[in-house]
């Protein structure tokens, strides 16, 4: 408790609020609170601070202790406030069809604008239609606190083999590598020869390299 009081006293000693802490009396809007917390935490990171603070019961102008009616243990939409704030899926104004269509609705509009101005990020949403076009809507899994994207691994490129199937080509290992072959492959002379072969023909196959090296 003493530590909390010391933190409050330190914050109140500032002449005005900073990017990493905010004072409120009784204000409480669940959706906006989530945006505030996200912005404060990112600002704290940019300022090199380990924590950000949102303090109720302090006048944001005079910094006087005025008390508050805010209840951090309240429920929002039939769930505890802490659970509500931890959600990481759609912002309130986003729809499922809009998401699949590539509409960009950031969860934190203010933070999104800052990132755009600093060229840290670009306009979001454009990649979603591309993923759906290639893999379908099933590539997206919507969970309580997150959106998971699953990209299936469907093929392996076979460099230099013109007769490889266009859709799928899997390597089949016929024989295990023998100790003798391993020694030949890892020798300095063989490695230098492989590098020379690749320099002369970047599309050379493993089979052609093996024949050229006598392995």
What pLDDT is recorded for position 173?
47
Q: Quick one: CA dihedral 200, 163, 215, 171, positive or negative?
A: positive
Rg (CA), the chain: 29
Residue 91: closest CA among 124, 139, 42? 124
Q: Which residues contact 111 (CB under 8 A, 6 or more apart)?
A: 35, 38, 39, 42
Confidence of residue 124 (pLDDT cuts 50, 70, 90): low
Determine the average pLDDT of the residues in 41-62: 88
Averaged pLDDT of the chain? 79
Please check the confidence at residue 71 and state whether its pLDDT lies above 60: yes
Whether 155 and 135 have beta carbons less than 8 Å apart is answered as no
Residue 94: closest CA among 41, 138, 31, 39? 31
What pLDDT is recorded for position 41?
84
Confidence of residue 1 (pLDDT cuts 50, 70, 90): low
Determine the average pLDDT of the residues in 97-121: 77
Please check the confidence at residue 39 and state whether its pLDDT lies above 70: yes
Question: DSSP letter string over 41-52?
Answer: HHHHHHTT-S--
Range of weakest confidence among 60-69, 101-110, 161-170 = 161-170
List Cα–Cα distances, 64 to 1, 45, 53, 72, in angstroms: 19, 27, 16, 21
Confidence of residue 69 (pLDDT cuts 50, 70, 90): very high
Determine the average pLDDT of the residues in 85-90: 66
What is the number of alpha carbons within 13 Å of residue 117 lying toward its C-beta? 6
Task: In whole angstroms, give the CA distance from residue 6 to residue 13.
Answer: 11
Q: Which residues contact 99 (CB under 8 A, 6 or more apart)?
A: 90, 125, 128
- The runs of H, that is alpha helices, within 118-187 are 127-135, 179-186
What pLDDT is recorded for position 58?
93
Q: What is the pTM of this model?
A: 0.43
Per-residue model confidence as pLDDT tens digits over 164-197? 555 444 444 445 556 566 666 667 788 888 889 9
Please check the confidence at residue 68 and state whether its pLDDT lies above 90: yes
């Amino acid at each position: 408790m003493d530590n909390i009081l010391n933190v409050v006293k330190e914050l109140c000693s500032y002449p005005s609020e900073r990017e990493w802490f905010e004072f409120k009396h009784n204000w409480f809007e669940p959706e906006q609170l989530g945006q505030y917390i996200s912005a404060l935490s990112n600002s704290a990171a940019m300022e090199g601070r380990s924590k950000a603070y949102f303090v109720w019961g302090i006048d944001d102008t005079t910094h006087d202790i005025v008390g508050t009616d805010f209840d951090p243990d309240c429920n929002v939409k039939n769930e505890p406030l802490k659970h509500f704030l931890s959600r990481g899926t759609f912002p309130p104004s986003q729809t499922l069809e809009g998401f699949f269509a590539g509409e960009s609705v950031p969860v934190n509009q203010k933070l999104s604008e800052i990132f755009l101005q600093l060229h840290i990020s670009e306009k979001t949403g454009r990649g979603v239609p591309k993923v759906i076009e290639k893999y379908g809507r099933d590539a997206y899994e919507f969970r309580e606190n997150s959106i998971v994207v699953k990209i299936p691994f469907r093929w392996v490129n076979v460099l230099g083999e013109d007769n490889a199937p266009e859709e799928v080509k899997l390597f089949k290992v016929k024989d295990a590598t023998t100790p003798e072959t391993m020694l030949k492959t890892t020798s300095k002379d063989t490695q230098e020869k492989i590098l020379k072969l690749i320099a002369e023909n970047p599309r050379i196959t493993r089979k052609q390299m093996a024949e050229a090296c006598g392995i």
